[in-house]
Structure 1
Amino acid sequence: MKLCTLLLCFPIALATPIHADVKAEPPREEGKEAAPAKEGNDQNKEKPPSQGRKSPETSTTKHTIVLSGVRMEYTATAGTLPIRDAEGKTKAEIFYIAYTKDGLNDLSQRPVTFSFNGGPGSSSVWMHLGLLGPRRVKLQDDGSAVPPPYQLVDNEYSLLDETDLVFIDPVGTGYSRATKPEDAKLFFGLAEDARSVAEFIRLYVTQNTRWASPKFLIGESYGTTRAAALSGELANKHRMNLNGIMLVSTVLNFQTIWGGEGNDLPHVLYLPSYTATAWHHRKLPEDLQKLPIQDVLKQAEAFAVGEYLQAIMLGAALPDEQRKAVLEKMARFTGVSADWLDRANLRPGLERFSVELLRDRRLQVGRFDSRYTGHVRNGLASSAEGDPSGDAFFAPFASTFNHFIRTELKYIDDQPYEILASLGKWNWGAENDFVNVAETLAVAMTRNPFLKVHVSCGYTDLATPYFASHYTFKHLNVAPEISKNITIDDYYAGHMMYLNLPDLAKQRTDLGKFIRAATGR
């Protein structure tokens, strides 16, 4: 499995609403067994999931945390909900962890937020133990690696004081599994995934009497693609309107990040992220290096959509003198040589840039976060040998979660918890086109003008570059009055900007403010 599986970029299109064809079991209270089926009911004869494996019991535990100086008591629930087909047969079980504030009789004023990460193939662990949940992985303050063994600490930046939290592992990730291997294809696709996650949300909301609560989604990376798809699926299939959607490291229009012959747009949108990377590693000219990064990026953005865009649009018709001038400015804003950029035909590409920037030190920069560096075994390497940023946090998150779920949440399951799963072929829904769920989100925002959207972008994110997110929302086809419902906040660090403590503090403030505004508080 490649290290890029938190975001797999393949072409496809999605412009029509997604509809569900699966349903879940009848509602029941969390932690209680379903009533026995009547004798003769075929559903009672159904085999348990995964070849005779009995699903672990739902676990409910009590905890406390201090947030903003206030002691808060909450309940953690870890368990699975079955997803059934139209005939009532279980096709999969979706694992979740929910945190709910104790002592509330009226839930109509208490928001509930459904969280998931990306991939496709990623569990929900990253935002769970990095940003939102009451416990977080302890790393260096800038998010850099620490030696094992790893540990969790109370997350004083958790959003649990603002909203209840439900972390969802889509089928094939975490402990979530299709009942039979051949049933996996029912869930491994853009539309299929949205259907099953929407059905999970409907079931959870129904069983836990949360239809009257303000409802939010938060997704990261491909999870933002999923969130946009869900905005249509929940509204169209279940008539469930949302109060807000929070998008972290966004990709809605894949044409903005997936390059190739005939698509030069990503080269333009990546360039400011190369500038941020070079600024961080002090590879820019001194006059730029001494400026605040925001000021440098404004210059890089203007160059990207001006002279650089014109140059690559001209292609072979670009005059030699103009090409030379553009190459010199590219070198100025990227920290790599004009000669190398010339040989790259003005299109450096992420994999090549990652090893070229610090070649003199025999280092490569990270994809998820280009602040991270790692040694290159082959000094002549022409493309990245891995991802140093992923190497820094994959193991700490996996180790701490596996300890946490069993010891603190008391959920006992011996099957592997799939932190990052290789799901095989993913059904993107169409061929010879790029997925663009921005259209689905635009329709949802138009039909529900109260829906608010928050976008978190990281300057040093080379997986979903911040300027591509800005571009997507500047081109969202909504009325000016609707576009006012969109808030974009930028952060210094990369794809998981919250691993950098200053960014975590800022993001907690920004998201808390967003939730309060979206609920009229």
Structure 2
Amino acid sequence: MKFKGSFINVFLSIYILFSGVAYSVDKAATKPEVTPIPKARQFITEHKGRFNDQNISYTATAGETYLKDKNGKETASIFTFAYTKNEKKQQNRPVTFIWNGGPGSASTWLHMGAFGPKRVKVPSDAQFPGTPPYPILDTPESILDVSDLVFIDPVGTGFSRALGEHKGKEFWGLQQDAASMAEFIRTWITANGRWNSPRFLLGESYGTTRAAAVAKILEKDLSISLNGIIFVSQALDYQGSTPYVKDNIISHITYLPTMAAAAVYHDKIKPKPENLESFLSQARLFATDELMPALFKGNTLDARTKTHIRDRLAYFTGLTPSYIDRAQLRIQGFHFAKELLRDKGLTIGLLDARYTVDEVDDLNSTPDHDAGGAIAPAFNAALMSYIRSDLGVTWDRTYLAPADDELSDQWSWRTAPPNSAWEPTYVNTAHDLSKALRINPALKVMVASGYYDLVTPFFDAEYTLNRHGIKAEQIQYHYYQGGHAMYVNETARVDLLKDTRLFIQQQTRRN
């Protein structure tokens, strides 16, 4: 006789066989109990504000939207902060879906730094933001006058979680994340009667990677048309923003203009250029027309040309010719952050090269930590204070910012099914954007870049979006005197909001 099942079931079968005792095993009883899924939480408050010289009454809805599978079973809770203007024809009003990046970042930065109705104030000149309390101010420049705003926290960030038997890992991946965000948008516009509203996506950093992938899903698979996409610190093709890969020639080209901007800011270019934009145009031309061919030639480059390239690199970067010689003309972006002010014992920021920090080890080749990250405590403190005092969010659930500590290690960058062959490559969703733009020729993209961003350099945005079959007339470039989160600079923040408002108005104007 053959027995199937676990050891305990086999033992019981033998016992029954020889004892004649009637016995049955309740397999269902051995399954772990699943906690019932509670009703989605909603915190709704009414507000008034003045935006772009308009008095606006609006509703703030901080709450969960449940994603469901094809059988109607809940899979995940997506928590959002939605600001909707109180008006009769709400179904025709533009709505902008906003997320940050990471992957693994909640929407805190864009919410409390620029686009929300309230913002935290940090020093505009890249100084240390100090200690609590941090000022929380009105944002009269917010685009709430031209669009409703939905700030989204993906699964594993903020209050968003997987539900029931589902695990966060199911949503942590390049394709999985994009699919869940696209499904959220479809669910939200259905629940709120906004199918005929003009729609925009606005993402920062990895949020632009996500936006391109989501745009393709919406346009191609879900028949949901978009009016526009706003990229803040573009990151679609990672080759141009990955300076730490030793043989990545492209990053040496895309990073050079940002290095030049940082060198000017820290007075390392002598004489100081009278016009930054003109100087950076020269840096672009040198990078593409001279540096790239030289690096491509490698050790076949003749001595005279090598000396010329070295001296021009020294001019544009503010580094010494001897250092550039030792680097073999290949100035790695993160090495530059440590080297530029080494003579002063300072390291410049990666997210924002305007920031500096005095690190313990001045001999390291790369920064020990990012000086630009000093503003994070101010943003977190301001958000948690604001949502409790103004939005009435009283919940014992932990707001994950940073994200779930398992998210980063479990994130999947695969673009092929798990059981199929796959050769790793640079992440690149520019092809997704190109597809969406071809499907919807009226769709346009606004690209916002900070001059001092050593994580997603502005020249990489140009390099990426000028290729991949993307039409030039569908892309608009804007540049700001800031870094990755350029909106911490007050002038850049106001200009960013102004440019975004004009872009939304342009893309919702009827012919």
Instruction: Please confirm whether the aligned pair reaches a TM-score higher than 0.5, indicating the same fold.
Output: yes
Residues 194-253 of structure 1 deviation map (CA, whole Å, 9 limit, x = unaligned): 111111111110010000110000000000000000011112332101000000000111
Within a 5 Å distance, the mapping from 1:76-87 to structure 2 comes to 76-87=60-71
Instruction: For residue 516 of structure 1, give the secondary structure of its aligned residue in structure 2.
Output: helix
Query: How far does residue 107 in structure 1 lie from its aligned partner after superposition?
Result: 2.4
Instruction: For residue 509 of structure 1, give the secondary structure of its aligned residue in structure 2.
Output: helix
Paired AA for residue 258 in structure 2: S
Match of 2:357 among 358, 361, 374: 374
1:323 — aligned with what? 306
CA contact (8 A) 2:67 2:187 kept: no
Q: 1:55 to 1:326 in 2, by over 3 A?
A: farther
CA–CA distance in structure 1, aligned partners of residues 103 and 164 of structure 2? 20
Query: How far does residue 312 in structure 1 lie from its aligned partner after superposition?
Result: 0.3
Residues 31-76 of structure 1 deviation map (CA, whole Å, 9 limit, x = unaligned): xxxxxxxxxxxxxx96335xxxx56730110111112222211110
1:264 — aligned with what? 249
Is 1:504 paired with 2:493?
yes
Match of 1:299 among 282, 285, 296: 282
Match of 2:270 among 268, 285, 289: 285
Match of 2:56 among 59, 72, 75: 72
Higher relative contact order, structure no. (Cα contacts within 8 Å, ≥ 6 residues apart): 1
Query: How far does residue 470 in structure 1 lie from its aligned partner after superposition?
Result: 0.7
Query: How far does residue 351 in structure 1 lie from its aligned partner after superposition?
Result: 2.1
Is 1:419 paired with 2:401?
yes
Match of 1:408 among 381, 384, 390: 390
Residues 156-188 of structure 1 deviation map (CA, whole Å, 9 limit, x = unaligned): 221101100000000001111112686222100
Paired AA for residue 135 in structure 1: K
CA–CA distance in structure 1, aligned partners of residues 326 and 106 of structure 2? 40
Match of 1:139 among 122, 139, 142: 122
CA–CA distance in structure 2, aligned partners of residues 463 and 186 of structure 1? 28
Is 1:216 paired with 2:208?
no
Paired AA for residue 71 in structure 2: E
Residues 99-156 of structure 1 deviation map (CA, whole Å, 9 limit, x = unaligned): 0111x11124310000000000000111111111100111123353332211210012
CA–CA distance in structure 1, aligned partners of residues 65 and 501 of structure 2? 29
For the pair shown, the structure with the greater C-alpha radius of gyration is 2
CA–CA distance in structure 1, aligned partners of residues 454 and 90 of structure 2? 40
Residues 276-310 of structure 1 deviation map (CA, whole Å, 9 limit, x = unaligned): 00000000121xx1421111101111111111111
Match of 2:430 among 438, 441, 445: 438
Is 1:455 paired with 2:447?
yes
Paired AA for residue 512 in structure 1: R
Instruction: For residue 225 of structure 2, give the secondary structure of its aligned residue in structure 1.
Output: coil
Paired AA for residue 98 in structure 2: S
Is 1:336 paired with 2:356?
no
Instruction: For residue 283 of structure 1, give the secondary structure of its aligned residue in structure 2.
Output: coil
Is 1:474 paired with 2:466?
yes
Paired AA for residue 265 in structure 1: I
Paired AA for residue 509 in structure 1: K
CA–CA distance in structure 2, aligned partners of residues 181 and 367 of structure 1? 40
Q: Percent identity?
A: 40
Q: State which drifts further: 221-230 or 401-410.
A: 401-410
Instruction: For residue 370 of structure 1, give the secondary structure of its aligned residue in structure 2.
Output: coil
Is 1:362 paired with 2:345?
yes
CA–CA distance in structure 1, aligned partners of residues 36 and 291 of structure 2? 59
Within a 5 Å distance, the mapping from 1:8-27 to structure 2 comes to none
CA–CA distance in structure 1, aligned partners of residues 395 and 303 of structure 2? 65
Paired AA for residue 180 in structure 2: S
CA–CA distance in structure 2, aligned partners of residues 427 and 344 of structure 1? 34
CA contact (8 A) 1:56 1:411 kept: no
Q: 1:293 to 1:48 in 2, by over 3 A?
A: farther
CA contact (8 A) 2:126 2:355 kept: no
Unpaired segments of 5 or more residues in structure 1?
Answer: 1-44
CA–CA distance in structure 2, aligned partners of residues 262 and 361 of structure 1? 30
Residues 316-348 of structure 1 deviation map (CA, whole Å, 9 limit, x = unaligned): 111122111111110110011111111112112
RMSD, aligned CA? 1.6
CA contact (8 A) 1:115 1:168 kept: yes
2:35 — aligned with what? 47
CA contact (8 A) 2:36 2:164 kept: no
Match of 1:493 among 466, 469, 482: 482
Query: How far does residue 504 in structure 1 lie from its aligned partner after superposition?
Result: 1.1
Paired AA for residue 516 in structure 1: Q
Is 1:163 paired with 2:153?
no
CA–CA distance in structure 1, aligned partners of residues 46 and 387 of structure 2? 14
Paired AA for residue 278 in structure 2: D
Q: 1:412 to 1:56 in 2, by over 3 A?
A: farther
Q: 1:143 to 1:352 in 2, by over 3 A?
A: closer
CA contact (8 A) 1:56 1:412 kept: no
CA–CA distance in structure 2, aligned partners of residues 278 and 264 of structure 1? 21
Instruction: For residue 366 of structure 2, give the secondary structure of its aligned residue in structure 1.
Output: coil
Query: How far does residue 257 in structure 1 lie from its aligned partner after superposition?
Result: 1.5
1:273 — aligned with what? 258
CA contact (8 A) 1:67 1:158 kept: yes
Match of 1:151 among 132, 135, 151: 135
Q: 1:181 to 1:174 in 2, by over 3 A?
A: farther
1:89 — aligned with what? 73
Instruction: For residue 160 of structure 1, give the secondary structure of its aligned residue in structure 2.
Output: helix
CA contact (8 A) 2:67 2:183 kept: yes
Is 1:198 paired with 2:182?
yes
CA–CA distance in structure 2, aligned partners of residues 174 and 93 of structure 1? 11
CA–CA distance in structure 2, aligned partners of residues 470 and 147 of structure 1? 36
CA–CA distance in structure 1, aligned partners of residues 35 and 164 of structure 2? 10
CA–CA distance in structure 2, aligned partners of residues 96 and 172 of structure 1? 13
Q: 1:517 to 1:122 in 2, by over 3 A?
A: same
Instruction: For residue 145 of structure 2, give the secondary structure of its aligned residue in structure 1.
Output: coil
CA contact (8 A) 1:56 1:413 kept: no
